[in-house]
Amino acid sequence: MTTDEIKVLIEAGFDSAEVTVNGDNGMFDTIVVAEKFDGLSPVKKQQMVYATVNPQITSGEIHALTIKAYTPKEWQLASKLRIG
């Protein structure tokens, strides 16, 4: 899978999300910024992102996916602190 293919899959699962995907050879990192995460725990946010690519993880197309998920407000703060 390519980073663009993964980005399309994740974006399809979220309304108006900002998605960045990096990596190759089945190992990827993603940052997902979405209003939909408001009020959710970090684990729940990751579960929501994993759900968008679960078939590709199960099939082995994606071997590893590191997820950083933020609300827009959280992302604004993380960007300023450079922890994203």
CATH number, domain with residue 21: 3.30.300.90
pLDDT greater than 80 at residue 37: yes
> Quick one: pLDDT band at residue 83, thresholds 50, 70, 90?
low
Domain assignment of residue 14, given as a range: 3-81
Which two tokens mark 70? Answer: 């933020």
Query: Is the separation of the CB atoms in 21 and 5 below 8 Å?
Result: no
Number of domains in the chain: 1
Model confidence pTM above 0.85: yes
Please report, for residues 6, 35, 83, the alpha-carbon distance to residue 55 in angstroms, rounded to integers and kept in the order given.
11, 24, 29
